[in-house]
Structure 1
Amino acid sequence: MQKVTEFFWFCSGANAGILRRTPTESNKYVGIGATVFFTGVLAALAAGYALYTIFDQLFPAIIFGLLWGLVIFNLDRFIVSSMRKKENAWAEWKLAIPRLVLAVLLAFVISKPLELKMFEKEINRELDRKKTEFIAESKANLAQGFPEIQELEEDILALNAEVDEAEAFRDKLQREYDAERFGEKTTETSGIVGLGTNAKKKEEQLDAAQKALDDLKVRNQARVDTLEKQIRDFIALRQLEFEKQQPGIDGFDGLAARIDALSKLTEESSAMALANIFIILLFIAIETSPIFVKLISSRGPYDELLELREDKVKLFKDERWTKAKGESEARVGYFQDTHFYATDLDKEKTNRKNKAKTYSEIDEIEEKWGRKQF
């Protein structure tokens, strides 16, 4: 149990040595550390799910999920451990505002993948609907891209219509022939029963129409077979193009697609929108709770001892600085009293030597000029 307590102390960023001296503060920092730890766990789960959605592979999702969870854990631990209880409450809140903003941003980042997992079934239905729309749209676009198929189908319809027209004409002659044989009086028959002259003419017309129909069927069927083969070829090309687009449609299951689907679902359903808001607020509360615990809790023995230790460090630093500054000033004074005096003395001697040498050279030059003139 003590190991668990010390682990949560570590998660809270507290000094374990000071906490051992202040047992009344232990539970507070255990609670803060547990909140920080489980926030990191939730972040790891959320990132793992999001990355599994992206890569569709378990091992990379686990590795990167753990890495992201450690990053969030470290940030939360830093946010909490960097806060100090001061005498001035307003100063504490002023310093906590940037940390609260960062905590809220982290809450949004952590909550989004978990929202996607909670509404996974609804999102899957929305994605299936979108895929169906994409398939229909793709087929419509491909149909427009292959107008030859429609033209060939129209040609087949025209050939079949021609055959139907010939059959209708043959059927009409068949009815007239039957009426002529059985003596039915119409505008096209004589009304005489039996196979008379009119009946034979009707029979000849019927045979000619039947022969023309048979020839037309054979001729048109050959043409229809050719057209249907061309249609099948074009359909095969269209199917090949559709199969090229099919992976993109089937792969419409990424993180961005799911976020977009969730956004549309929340727009259409007020219940889902309300649930989504509550989930975000829950994660904001979890993420900001350690900060608020630090802010609203009173200044305790741990804070006093921690400030005392920090003040001792500052005092020790001031002492070392004062000592180092005094030693430096003493060395500078000694250097000025010895080295600079000797330097000035040497400089004066050098100037005198240079001055005497200059005068000697001038005298030599004047003596030479004097000799040349005489």
Structure 2
Amino acid sequence: MNSISRFFWFCSGANFAILKRTPTESNKYVGIGATVFFTGVLAALAAGYALFTVFQNLIPAIFFGLLWGMMIFNLDRFIVSSMRKKENAWAEWKLAIPRLILAVLLALVISKPLELKMFEREINRKLDEKKTEFIAQSKANLAKGFPEIQELEGKIDTLKAEVSRAETFRNQLQKEYDAERFGEKTAGTSGIVGLGTNAKKKEQQLDAAQLALENLRKQNQVRIDTLEAQIREFMALRQVEFEKQQPGIEGFDGLAARMDALSALTSESSAMAMANVFIMLLFIAIETAPIFVKLISSRGPYDELLELHEEKVKLFKGEKWMIAKGESEARVGYFQDTHFYATDLKKEKTNRKNRAEADRELAKWE
């Protein structure tokens, strides 16, 4: 238990020497350290899942997940350890506001991958719907890219319509021929029963229409077969283009796609939107818990001893500064005195030398 406590002390960023002198503060910093540690663990899990979604490989996901978790752990540890308990509560809150904002941002970053994991089934269903839409859209775009298929299909429909019209004409002649044989009185029949002159004419017309129909069928069928072969060639080319696009559609399951699907789900379902908000609030509470613990906790012996130690360091620094400043001023004064004395002496020598040279020049002229 002692080693576990020391580990959580380390996670809280507390000073071991001071904590050993204040045993009543031990549990508080164990709780703060545990919160910081488990926040780092959650961050590592969240980053590992997010990176596995990106790389689709376990080894880099584990490596970068651990790296991200250690970074978050170190940042939380720094945030908590850098906070100091003051006698003025408002001064503490002013110092804590930037740290709280940073903690909220970290919580949002940590919570998002875990939200994606929690709603994985719903997100996968939404992604399947998106893929189906993309497939239909891709096929529609490819159909527009091959207008020859529609033109050939239109020609086939025209040929089939010609055969249909010929069949209709043949059937009409068949009805008139039957009516003429059985003596049915119509606008085109005589009403006389038997194979008379009109019946034979009707029969000849029917035979000619049947022959024309058969010839048209054969002729158009050859043309239809040719057009269908061309259509199959264009459809094969279209299928090749679709197969090129299909891997991209099937691979539509990255991190951005999942976040977009989650956003769509939360906008469609109020229950999922509420769950999403509650998860974010949970992680914000976890991430800001160490800071709030330090803010709401009373000023204890650990804080008093820590402030005393820091004040001693400040006093020691002031003493050293005063000593160093005095020594520096003494050295500067000594340097100025000796430097100016040497300078004046040198000037005097130069003046004497100049006067001597001037006197010699005057003596020569005299």
**TM superposition score normalised by structure 1:** 0.91
Q: 1:372 aligns to what?
A: none
Q: State the alpha-carbon separation in 2 of the partners of residues 315 and 150 from structure 1.
A: 92
CA displacement at 1:114 relative to structure 2: 1.2
**Pair 1:137 & 2:109 matched:** no
**Pair 1:95 & 2:95 matched:** yes
Q: State the alpha-carbon separation in 2 of the partners of residues 122 and 363 from structure 1.
A: 117
**What SS does the aligned partner of 1:271 have?**
helix
Q: 2:106 aligns to what?
A: 106
CA displacement at 1:336 relative to structure 2: 4.1
Output one character per residue of 1:126-151: Cα deviation in whole Å (capped at 9) or x when no partner. Answer: 22222222222222222222222212
Q: 1:55 aligns to what?
A: 55
**What SS does the aligned partner of 1:252 have?**
coil
Output one character per residue of 1:182-241: Cα deviation in whole Å (capped at 9) or x when no partner. Answer: 444444344444444433333322222221111111110111111112211222222222
Within a 5 Å distance, the mapping from 1:207-218 to structure 2 comes to 207-218=207-218
Q: 2:348 aligns to what?
A: 348
Higher deviation after alignment, 175-184 or 262-271: 175-184
Question: Compared with structure 1, are the counterparts of its residues 249 and 359 closer, same or farther at alpha carbon in structure 2 (3 Å cutoff)?
Answer: farther
CA displacement at 1:351 relative to structure 2: 2.3
Within a 5 Å distance, the mapping from 1:120-269 to structure 2 comes to 120-269=120-269
Higher deviation after alignment, 134-143 or 27-36: 134-143
Residue 315 of structure 2 aligns with an amino acid whose one-letter code is: L
**Pair 1:20 & 2:17 matched:** no
**What SS does the aligned partner of 2:209 have?**
helix
Q: State the alpha-carbon separation in 1 of the partners of residues 207 and 277 from structure 2.
A: 83
CA displacement at 1:174 relative to structure 2: 2.6
Q: State the alpha-carbon separation in 2 of the partners of residues 257 and 271 from structure 1.
A: 21
**Pair 1:115 & 2:120 matched:** no
Q: State the alpha-carbon separation in 2 of the partners of residues 146 and 56 from structure 1.
A: 36
Q: 1:273 aligns to what?
A: 273
Question: Compared with structure 1, are the counterparts of its residues 361 and 158 closer, same or farther at alpha carbon in structure 2 (3 Å cutoff)?
Answer: farther
Q: State the alpha-carbon separation in 2 of the partners of residues 361 and 74 from structure 1.
A: 85
Q: State the alpha-carbon separation in 1 of the partners of residues 310 and 328 from structure 2.
A: 27
Output one character per residue of 1:304-342: Cα deviation in whole Å (capped at 9) or x when no partner. Answer: 221222222222222222222233333334444445323
Q: 1:41 aligns to what?
A: 41
**What SS does the aligned partner of 1:86 have?**
coil
Question: Compared with structure 1, are the counterparts of its residues 361 and 218 closer, same or farther at alpha carbon in structure 2 (3 Å cutoff)?
Answer: farther
Q: 2:323 aligns to what?
A: 323
Q: State the alpha-carbon separation in 1 of the partners of residues 343 and 91 from structure 2.
A: 57
Regions of 4+ moved over 6 Å: none
Output one character per residue of 1:230-276: Cα deviation in whole Å (capped at 9) or x when no partner. Answer: 21122222222222222222222222222222222222222111111
CA displacement at 1:63 relative to structure 2: 1.3
Q: State the alpha-carbon separation in 1 of the partners of residues 139 and 125 from structure 2.
A: 21
Higher deviation after alignment, 298-307 or 180-189: 180-189
Higher deviation after alignment, 291-300 or 146-155: 146-155
Higher deviation after alignment, 169-178 or 123-132: 169-178
**What SS does the aligned partner of 2:84 have?**
coil
Q: State the alpha-carbon separation in 1 of the partners of residues 232 and 315 from structure 2.
A: 92
Question: Compared with structure 1, are the counterparts of its residues 102 and 358 closer, same or farther at alpha carbon in structure 2 (3 Å cutoff)?
Answer: farther
Question: Compared with structure 1, are the counterparts of its residues 192 and 327 closer, same or farther at alpha carbon in structure 2 (3 Å cutoff)?
Answer: same
Q: State the alpha-carbon separation in 2 of the partners of residues 188 and 333 from structure 1.
A: 142
Q: Aligned residues, how many?
A: 366
**What SS does the aligned partner of 2:143 have?**
helix
Higher deviation after alignment, 237-246 or 149-158: 237-246
Q: 1:371 aligns to what?
A: none
Residue 263 of structure 1 aligns with an amino acid whose one-letter code is: S
> How much identity, in percent, do the aligned residues show?
80
Q: State the alpha-carbon separation in 2 of the partners of residues 152 and 271 from structure 1.
A: 52
Q: State the alpha-carbon separation in 2 of the partners of residues 227 and 308 from structure 1.
A: 96
Question: Compared with structure 1, are the counterparts of its residues 210 and 355 closer, same or farther at alpha carbon in structure 2 (3 Å cutoff)?
Answer: farther
Residue 284 of structure 1 aligns with an amino acid whose one-letter code is: I
Residue 299 of structure 1 aligns with an amino acid whose one-letter code is: R
Question: Compared with structure 1, are the counterparts of its residues 353 and 217 closer, same or farther at alpha carbon in structure 2 (3 Å cutoff)?
Answer: same
CA displacement at 1:345 relative to structure 2: 1.7
Q: State the alpha-carbon separation in 2 of the partners of residues 195 and 362 from structure 1.
A: 173
Residue 171 of structure 2 aligns with an amino acid whose one-letter code is: D
Q: State the alpha-carbon separation in 2 of the partners of residues 163 and 8 from structure 1.
A: 90
Q: State the alpha-carbon separation in 1 of the partners of residues 342 and 175 from structure 2.
A: 148
Give the CA RMSD over aligned residues: 2.0
Residue 320 of structure 1 aligns with an amino acid whose one-letter code is: K
Q: State the alpha-carbon separation in 2 of the partners of residues 196 and 125 from structure 1.
A: 76
Higher deviation after alignment, 244-253 or 77-86: 244-253
**Pair 1:85 & 2:91 matched:** no
**TM superposition score normalised by structure 2:** 0.93
**Pair 1:68 & 2:68 matched:** yes
Q: State the alpha-carbon separation in 1 of the partners of residues 172 and 69 from structure 2.
A: 86
Higher deviation after alignment, 136-145 or 100-109: 136-145
Higher deviation after alignment, 89-98 or 132-141: 132-141
Residue 110 of structure 1 aligns with an amino acid whose one-letter code is: I
Residue 135 of structure 1 aligns with an amino acid whose one-letter code is: I
Q: State the alpha-carbon separation in 2 of the partners of residues 311 and 356 from structure 1.
A: 67
Q: 5+ residue gaps in structure 1?
A: 368-374
Question: Compared with structure 1, are the counterparts of its residues 209 and 316 closer, same or farther at alpha carbon in structure 2 (3 Å cutoff)?
Answer: same
